[in-house]
Every structure is written in structure tokens, then in C-alpha cells.
Structure 1
Amino acid sequence: MTSRRCPAWVPLAVLLLTVGQLAVAEWVPGIDRFADKAFGARLVAYPLLMLLAPTLWWLLVGRRDRFAPPPYGAFTLVALPFLVDVTGNSLDLYDAVVWWDDLNHFANWLLLCAGIGLLVCRRVQPGWAVVLLVTGLGAALAVGWELGEWFTFIRHGTELDTAYEDTLGDEALGTLGALVAGFAVRRALRGSVLRA
């Protein structure tokens, strides 16, 4: 049986598509949907966050074992939420589709936490510990993300009146996405743990 692996160009394409849209949002004038959404900060932060997983993997695994195949699929899963977020802004989906933000918090945390789980949970046993670890990491990241949104957009913005309810909903949806990711990672790793 042959093993299917994600090719290296896939996470690179996700990175380039994200950076390209961020560059348009920051430097092309006159696009109202990009106004007051901190695209200058995102242009710096998103690529750095997208490159964090491959960098840490290389420092912790790749340098010690030059023959270890890089987990490009996991890198792609970690990077995809940033592309989805930027694309949602580029297509004006946050304003045009009422439920888009809620779907993003669930789906993006599912993708992000599945990628992180595949990177960090290979040796975690028993299976329920994988689910708890991925869910806990996702919940912590959801709280961190909402703190970042509050600091960047809400504290001096126009959304202060509805921020509390939105924040709680976003954190709950992110944690639910992380829980689903935990079960998916447990299932994905079950076969590799049994064969190891």
C-alpha cells in the first residue's frame, strides 16, 4: 500500500494566497471592506503564525532526524484558517453573510487544532487524552484570539455593545471546533499508534 502525503507546494500555496490578499488589502486604496480591520498588523502576524509550525517542527524534529518527512498536511491545516479569514474579508462575507463569522470560528478552529494535534499528539496515549489535549489547546487559543480581537478592534470601536455576547459565542464555537478536531486527530492517529 502506498502512502499519500500532502506535497510541499500545498502549504506554500496557502501562504502565498494569504499574503497576496493581505498585500492587496493593505496597499490597494479605496476598498471599503478592508478599512479599520488591522490589515497592516495581519500582514505581519499571519505569515509569522503560519510559519510557526514548520519552524518549530524543523527545530525540534527536522534537525535531529534529517530523514523525517515533514508533515506538510499538518502545516496546511494550521495555515488554512488564516487563508479562510482573509478570503472571507476579500469576498466581503463577514458583512454579507450573517452566519459567516460563526462558521469561521467553528471551522477554523477545527482546521487549526487538527493540524496542531497531528503535530503534537503522535505519542499521546490513551486516545481520550488526545481529545482532551487538542480541545484544551483549542479553548486556550480561542480565548487568546478573542483577547487579541478585543485589544485590536473592540475596546475603542463601534462593536463594544455586542462584544460580550459575540466573544462568548466565538469562544464556544472555537472550543467545539477543537473538540471535533480532537476526535478527528484521535481517529487519524489510532492506526499509526497501533502500527508503531
Structure 2
Amino acid sequence: MTGRRVLLGLDLLAKAALVVLLLVALAHPDLANLKAKGAGLRLVIYPLGALAVPMWWWLQGRRAWAGRRFPWGADLLVTLPWLSDLLGNRLDFFDTVTWWDDVSHFGHWLLLTAGVLAAWAPGRRIGAGALIMVGLGFGATAAVLWELGEYAAFMRFLPTYAYAYPDTLGDLTLGTSGSLVAGLLVAVHRRVRPPVRD
């Protein structure tokens, strides 16, 4: 079995698991541990997030991707944060494991940013500095948008809202740090294995 087939299989498995967890959240928000956590918005945003790479690929058109294969690895990296968040909520880790939220913000932004960078310009030679800056720019922007979404969806209604500001600052710091690490890792990966056309 080739590496591309393994990535394809893992990507499809992750997307199927995401669909199952979304259906559980739709049918039973309490069972998914998403009650009062913006379950309705997650049901819209998460599928769109998991389909971002295929939609981008399709919108770019055939001419932009002449001779290239679909980036299954990048698609998997972009899908995993959405799946992990739903699974972490389903298993109640966010409310019972004190460090889970921090690890999630760092790890989710690392995966998401690495996936975006891997899909953004495959085959093009991009300097490490530019790649890291793009990763930081994307990751910091995504982290701010995520925190604004959390605030609008449910944070301002929680009885612990007074304590939310330090949590938001920590989440932004961890998300941006994860993006920085993703930029560094993708830059090192590209230096070790320069992009080649398929």
C-alpha cells in the first residue's frame, strides 16, 4: 500500500468519524457535551472546515493544478482539529481534564496551520522565512476568529465569564505558538525534502 493510499484512507476515516460525531451532536447535544457551547454553530463551521481543502482545490480549477494530485495529507491535517475538538467534547475532556483545553489549542493550530501550508503552494519553492510568516499570519488570524466565535456563541453567557479573559489570552498565545511551530516544521520538511512536481 502506497503512502498516498494510506493518507487517503486515514483522511476518509477522519471525515467519516467527524460526520458521526456531528450527527450525535445534532441528535443529542447533551450526549456530545456541547450544550451551551455553541453546538449549532459547530454543526455549520466544522463540516466547512473539514471541506476547506477540497473546496479550495475545486475553486482553483484544473489549470492551477495541472499535473498535481489532490493533497490528501494536507486535507487530513486540516480535518483532524475539527474531529479532535468534537471527540474531546464527546469524552468530556474539556470539562474534566484541566490541561486538555491548552493542549488542544496548541495542537489544533499546529495541525490546521501545517495543513494549510502544505496545501497552499505545493511544488513551489518558498523561502523558510516567508513560509513561517505566512503560518504565523494565518494561525494568529484563525486563533482570533476562533476566540471571537467562542465569545459570540457561548462564552459571554457562562456564569464563569469573569474568568474568561485570561483563558482567551492563553488560548490565543497557544494557538499562535502552535502556528509558529507548524511553520517551522513545514519549512524544515521542505528543506529536507524539496517540493517536486508530481
Q: Same fold (TM over 0.5)?
A: yes
Where 2:7 maps in the other structure, the secondary structure is: coil
Secondary structure of the residue aligned to 1:36 is: coil
In structure 2, what is the equivalent of residue 112 of structure 1?
Answer: 112
Residue correspondences, number: 195
Shift of 1:40: 2.7
Counterpart residue number, 1:94: 94
Query: Cα distance, 1:193 vs. partner?
Result: 3.4
Q: Calculate the TM-score normalised by the size of structure 1.
A: 0.89
CA distance in 2, matches of 1:51, 1:73: 13
Question: 1 CA distance for matches of 2:71 and 2:162?
Answer: 43
Q: Matches of residues 68-83 of structure 1 in structure 2 within 5 Å?
A: 68-83=68-83
CA RMSD of aligned residues (A): 2.3
Counterpart AA for 2:3: R
Partner of 1:26: 26
Deviations along 1:48-90, one digit per CA (max 9) or x if unpaired, are: 1210111111221545445421110000000100000000011
Report the Cα distance in structure 2 between the residues aligned to 1:34 and 1:168, rounded to whole angstroms: 22
Aligned to 2:103: 103
Evaluate the alpha carbon distance shift between residue 58 and residue 190 of structure 1 in structure 2; reply closer, same or farther with a 3 A threshold: farther
In structure 1, the partner of 2:176 is: 175
Deviations 1:156-185 (A, max 9, x none): 332320111111000000000001000111
Give secondary structure in 2 for the equivalent of 1:35: coil
Q: Distance in 2 between the 1:32 and 1:83 partners?
A: 12
Partner of 1:131: 132
> Gaps (5+ residues) in structure 2?
none
Which position in structure 1 is the counterpart of 2:191? 190
Question: Residue 63 and residue 16 in structure 1: after superposition, are their counterparts in 2 closer, same or farther (change >3 A)?
Answer: farther
Q: How does 1:5-84 map to 2 (within 5 A)?
A: 5=4, 6-28=6-28, 31=31, 33-60=33-60, 62=62, 64-65=64-65, 67-84=67-84
**TM superposition score normalised by structure 2:** 0.88
